[in-house]
Structure 1
Amino acid sequence: MTHLALSRVHFPVTSLGPGRRVGVWFQGCSIRCPGCVSLDTWAMRAPETAVATLLDGLQAIAPEADGLTVSGGEPFDQPEALHALLLGWRTRHQGTVLVYSGYPYETLTPRLAVWNGLIDALITDPLRLDVPQTLPLRGSDNQRFHLFTEAGRSAFTNWDRPQPDAPPSLDVMVDAEAGTVYLAGIPRRGDMTRLAERLAAAGHRLAVTEDKSASACW
């Protein structure tokens, strides 16, 4: 049975692709881009979640979802688990699949060649703080959008061009058991730091997972 190191799952996610999507975040990242806003997903952990169990848990919400977005962490650091998740999703749902990776596309090409049809859209390449951020769904404009299927081209073509008038969109996710609030989406540069500062000024304590070592570059 295939297992994965899982960070979190959330539904609905509306800021990482069109419609109401299931969001799955893998835990562990070997790339660790300066400026990343998801430091909590960097640490490597043992793969303790059975992919089959995760898919069973998604079964109830899959009919209400417009698609699946997989991020992290770095999903391709766990290729067997990623493949099992995508294959299982395809047997249960026809919605589009968007996957994020910090690896260059050329590094992933051999694996993607035998994953035909499992991914509709893929965003690749590392976050770079020396590159502008004007394109939707990306932290920097060097990150490339790859559309592999007709469904992907239909759903994501308009997301591969600048949308200067579109306001930033973030989903608020609450883990009541842990007492933790997460924001899903692609914030503008410095948004998380500004949020922390404003909440602190109002008397609230907030810890954010933005890479503070790179904050001067934002």
Structure 2
Amino acid sequence: MHLSLSRVHFPVTTLGPGQRLGIWFQGCSLRCPGCISADTWGPGKRQVSLDALLTQIAPWLAQADGITVSGGEPFEQFDALLALLRALRQRSAGDILVYSGHSLEALGPQLEQTQGLIDGLISDPYQEHSEQTLALRGSDNQRLSLLTPLGRARLADYQRPLRAADKALDLMFDEAGSVWMAGIPRRGDLLRLRDLLHSQGHQLQTSAHTSKRR
């Protein structure tokens, strides 16, 4: 079993409670306008076996309070997602939160197969011009569904408006020197960061604004 992977990172503190393991799938056909993760739209070249991924993340799983799976669109690699969720459930007592741009209704048949494996699901497409006032969501049309007792215990606190502490981002660095951000930035945050760095003589290009020209 292989999956197209964008990246993994630990710890992530901005996509759910505690210190979390973040797993980002590569590839998304939805391509929502204004998406901050446009770099994950294409199919990518990093095909990783599930066994290799599990070996890589094993030390982090022992420390993680929970796991957040995003992308890209995880449900577009459903067989790999299902296998990964089963393996994660066997190896971790933490909660599993999954992001999808598909509607909850469209995911119904697949969610039946993942019953008991996903504790919390944030569903529905990002809408660039919708309000952005809810915790863990990029736009207020998105829904947080709590699917298990563990999900209700760990994630029910996120059924609420944003707090000041939610307005944070994690910075990640890869071996090639690229900088990634995990979290839900406010509208215009990345452009303001770009302009600030430009004013100091630095160059920054983000997928959030390059995608507008595609």
Deviation at 1:103, TM superposition (A): 0.3
1:99 equivalent in structure 2: 98
Distance 1:55 1:134, change over 3 A: same
Deviation at 1:131, TM superposition (A): 1.3
Is 2:178 the counterpart of 1:157? no
User: Which SS does the other structure have where 1:97 is aligned?
Assistant: strand
**Gap runs ≥5 in structure 2:** none
Distance 1:211 1:77, change over 3 A: farther
Moved over 3 A (4+): 164-167, 211-215
1:155-204 Cα deviation digits (max 9, x unpaired): 111111103443511001011x2011111111000100110000000111
User: Which SS does the other structure have where 2:113 is aligned?
Assistant: coil
Query: What amino acid maps onto 1:90 in structure 2?
Result: R
Contact kept? 2:104, 2:124, Cα under 8 Å: yes
1:199 to 197, 200, 205: 197
Query: What amino acid maps onto 1:35 in structure 2?
Result: G
Contact kept? 1:124, 1:143, Cα under 8 Å: yes
Distance 2:86 2:164 in 1: 37
Deviation at 1:90, TM superposition (A): 0.8
User: Which SS does the other structure have where 2:86 is aligned?
Assistant: helix
Distance 1:52 1:165, change over 3 A: same
Is 2:184 the counterpart of 1:180? no
**Gap runs ≥5 in structure 1:** none
1:7-45 Cα deviation digits (max 9, x unpaired): 000000000000000000000000000010111101113
1:109 equivalent in structure 2: 108
TM-score by length of 2: 0.95
Distance 1:134 1:48 in 2: 36
- Equivalenced residues, count: 213
Report the identity percentage: 53
Distance 1:21 1:40, change over 3 A: same
What is the root-mean-square deviation in Å for CA atoms of aligned residues? 1.5
Deviation at 1:144, TM superposition (A): 0.4
User: Which SS does the other structure have where 2:18 is aligned?
Assistant: coil
Distance 1:212 1:183 in 2: 16
